[in-house]
Amino acid sequence: MQTENPAGRILYVTGNPNSNRLIILKEEKALYQKVDTNLNFVDREKKVEEFWKENHIFEKSMENRKEGPTYTFYDGPPTANGKPHIGHVLTRVIKDMIPRYRAMKGYMVPRKAGWDTHGLPVELEVEKKLGLDGKEQITAERVCDAALKSLAGKDRGIDWFRENGVLTRERKADEVYVFAAGMEGRIPLYFDFMLEAKEKIEAEVDKLGIYWETDDYIPLPEFMPCLDHEVEEEGFDLFPVYWTNAINTDTWQVENAWINEINELDDTTYFLEINAATGAAKGIKSGDKVRLSNRDGDVVEGVAVLTEFVHPECVASVGGHLNAKSDYQPIGKTKGTAVNHLVPAGDPKRMEYVGSGVDQCVRCKLEKIS
C-alpha cells in the first residue's frame, strides 16, 4: 500500500496500517503536493504554470493527439482597442472550455490566437499617431504623405517625391537575383523536371480519358500566345483587362456604403477606361455609354472614360467583376462593368495546361451605344 506524509512524500509500506509496526519499502517525492487549507491562489496558479512550462504539458497534449481528428472552434478575436484587459482574458478563459473538452475526447485542437485590427478603434489610434483630430484634416494628400513616409522613411514624404521624382537605391547582385539550389545570384533557366512531369501527366490523362495538352511542358521558357492572339476578325481589336486599386478587391465590397461613396467620387472605378487615341478613332468620348462584346455574342455595357494610362489595344475595368445583379446587394447592384463575363467558360481549349488556369485573353469589339 502507499500513503502520503505531511512532508509531501509518498511512502510505500507493508504491514497493518492500523498498527504501529509498518516497514517502509521505499520513499519518493510526491508529484502532486498535498493541498494546504491556507491557500494563496495566486502563488498556487504560478506554481501550476511553472510546472506546465517545465514539463511541456501543453506541447505533450498536442503531440499525443496529432493523429486524432481535428476540431476547429472559431472564436471571434478581441478588438485591438488599447491594451489587453481582464475582459479579453475572461472571454478567452470561458471559451477555452470547449477546446479543452474536445481535447479530452481525443481530438487534435490546434490553437491560433489573433487580434481583430479592423474598425473604428484602430482608425482612432491611427488618427492619434498622425495627429489628426477631425475629418476635415484627413485629406488624400495627408494619407499619401503618411504612406510614403512609412515606406520610404520619415524624411521622404509627398514633398520629397515631388522634388525628386523617384527613389532609387543601388543594390548588389545577391540582392537582385533570387537564390536557387544554394547558389547565390543564380536563376534556374532549364527546368528539366518539366519533361518528367509531361510523361506522368500524359499517362494519367490517358487513364482518365480527358483532353489535356502537354505541348507547353518544356524545360525552357517560351512565348505562348493566347487563343485569341492571332484573331484578325474586323472590329474585334481590343483586349479587356482588369486591375484592382487600394480599395476594391471584390464585388461584395461595393455593398459597403463608404467604399461605394469613394468609388462614385473618382473617375475610374465604375467606368470603362479606354485609351484616348483609341476612343477618338471610334468616335467615343468620356461619358458615352458603350458596349463591349466578344465573338461568341456575350455583351457587357458601361460608361467610357478616356485616359492616357491604358494601352491602345486594351479596355480596362477596376475589379473586372463588379456590376452585381442580386437584389440582395442594393448598393452595389449595376455599379461598374464585369468585363470578365466576356471570357468564354467551359472550353477546355482555353485552359492554361501547366498551371491549370483559364486563358482570359479574349478579343472584343467596342461600340458606342446611340
- Model pLDDT, residue 21: 45
Per mean pLDDT, which range of 6-20, 161-175, 270-284 is the poorest? 6-20
The DSSP symbol for 33 reads P
Residue 183 clears pLDDT 60, i.e. is over it:
no
According to the model, what pLDDT value does residue 44 have? 84
Q: In sequence order, what are the beta bridge partners of 324?
A: 333
* Per-residue model confidence as pLDDT tens digits over 85-98: 777 677 777 788 88
pLDDT score recorded for residue 97: 86
Question: For 230-238, what is the mean pLDDT?
Answer: 89
Provide the mean pLDDT of the chain: 79
Cβ contact 370:291 at 8 Å: no
Q: How far is the CA of 88 from the CAs of 6, 45, 75, 120, in angstroms? A: 40, 19, 12, 18
Q: Would you report the helix, strand and coil content of the chain in percent, each value rounded to 5? A: 35, 15, 50
What is the grid cell recorded at 287? 461619358
Q: What is the pLDDT of residues 307-358, one digit of tens each?
A: 999 999 999 998 767 888 888 888 888 888 888 888 887 777 787 888 877 8
* Residue partners of 189: CB distance under 8 A and separation at least 6: 220, 221
Q: Tell me phi and psi for residue 129, to 5 degrees.
A: -65, -35
- Predicted local distance difference test score (pLDDT) of residue 366: 95
| Degrees to nearest 5, angle at CA 215 with 212 and 221 | 130
> Per-residue pLDDT tens for 109-131?
888 766 655 555 666 777 777 77
Burial track 88-121 (b if 16+ CB lie within 10 A, e otherwise): beeeeeeeeeebeebbeeebbbeeeeeeeeeeee
Edge-to-edge strand ranges of the sheet holding 299-307: 239-243, 314-318, 272-275, 299-307, 289-294, 364-368
Which stretches of 209-353 are DSSP H helices?
Answer: 257-265, 276-281
Single-letter amino acid, residue 103: A
Cβ atoms of 320 and 242 within 8 Å: the answer is yes
Output the nine-digit C-alpha cell for 55.
514539463
Distance (Å, whole) CA 302 – CA 320: 12
Is residue 60 pLDDT above 70, yes or no? yes
